[in-house]
A = this chain, B = another copy of it.
């Protein structure tokens, strides 16, 4: 089934119709680096639509890159090509890859864990390794430090323009690098997952647990759940909270569980900052669980 889906996508070369490249990086926008990537892509074909996801990933923060990618990618049509350059290992022997997702996007990126969330929640059909000595902007062979511009933007644009096929990228890579992620799951009457990210403006905890799990638990709006947050096995927070439709259903300063704009479970204080108040962080080692109040 997946094989057929893969074959259909690869044969259709849907990215060629779509002609859209979306860039993400940790470069910031105060120098010319992002523009140089756009320029390289525009130089491959002037018919490409060039878009940006964000360039404000904290430097070398692969967890956040991985998460931001899964946050935005599903809202882009299949066939869209993503170029993701958060690359602490540039100059090392880390591989360069192109991944085909189950929903039909292509992602060009160093093989360093940036695909972890997408692989976990959307699924990858196939990953191919780029030969960076042959697949690169002509004249860029001397540069050892800017693969984002010289390889990834160039390859992404050539794929989107139909100048190279997915299979022409290079050999299939059976396994990609993953960062450690608490996979969202139901264990008995307990939902377990990761804290993907903090909603920076409010300090809400955004988990990777789909709200569909609530139905499996038989829990709805107005019900309470026991919440437990731990870091490397040590419990940091534990309390029972209501599942709310609006923040205002609890008093100011009180905690609540809600369904965020990604349809995942999230935790907040009404008019407060949950993460700061309880010193809660995000990424590797953090675990969150919700269980039915007995």
A residues bordering B, Cβ < 8 Å?
Answer: 18-20, 22, 29-40, 42-43, 46, 49-56, 59, 68-69, 71-73, 75-77, 80, 91-92, 142-146, 149-150, 197, 200-201, 211, 245-247, 258-263
Q: How many copies does the complex hold?
A: 3
Question: Least Cβ distance of A234 to chain B in Å?
Answer: 28
CB pair A46–B32 under 8 Å, yes or no, is: no
Question: Least Cβ distance of A154 to chain B in Å?
Answer: 10
Closest 10 CB pairs of A and B: A32-B72, A146-B261, A39-B75, A39-B76, A30-B56, A32-B71, A36-B75, A43-B77, A35-B72, A35-B53
CB pair B211–A75 under 8 Å, yes or no, is: no
Question: Least Cβ distance of A86 to chain B in Å?
Answer: 13
Which among B54, B75, B211 is the interface contact of A43 at CB below 8 angstroms? B75
Q: Which residues in B have their C-beta under 8 angstroms from that of A72?
A: 32-33, 35-36, 39
Which among B33, B53, B75, B261 is the interface contact of A145 at CB below 8 angstroms? B261
CB pair A42–B36 under 8 Å, yes or no, is: no
Question: Least Cβ distance of A28 to chain B in Å?
Answer: 8
Among A35, A51, A149, max chain B CB count under 10 A is at A35
Pairs A–B under 8 Å by Cβ, sample size 19: A19-B46, A20-B42, A22-B35, A30-B200, A31-B54, A32-B72, A33-B71, A35-B75, A36-B72, A36-B75, A37-B75, A38-B51, A39-B73, A40-B75, A42-B77, A42-B80, A142-B263, A143-B263, A146-B261
CB pair B56–A32 under 8 Å, yes or no, is: no
CA distance A196 to B54 in the complex (A): 27
CA distance A73 to B150 in the complex (A): 15
CB pair A42–B146 under 8 Å, yes or no, is: no
Given the known A-B contacts A42-B49, A42-B51, A76-B42, are A200 and B142 also in contact in the complex, defined by CB atoms under 8 Å?
no
Which among B59, B91, B145, B150 is the interface contact of A201 at CB below 8 angstroms? B59
Q: Which residues in B have their C-beta under 8 angstroms from that of A144?
A: 245-246, 259
Q: Which residues in B have their C-beta under 8 angstroms from that of A32?
A: 53-54, 68-69, 71-72
Question: Least Cβ distance of A57 to chain B in Å?
Answer: 8
CB pair B46–A211 under 8 Å, yes or no, is: no
Q: Which residues in B have their C-beta under 8 angstroms from that of A19?
A: 46
Question: Least Cβ distance of A35 to chain B in Å?
Answer: 4
Q: Which residues in B have their C-beta under 8 angstroms from that of A18?
A: 46
Q: Which residues in B have their C-beta under 8 angstroms from that of A56?
A: 29-30
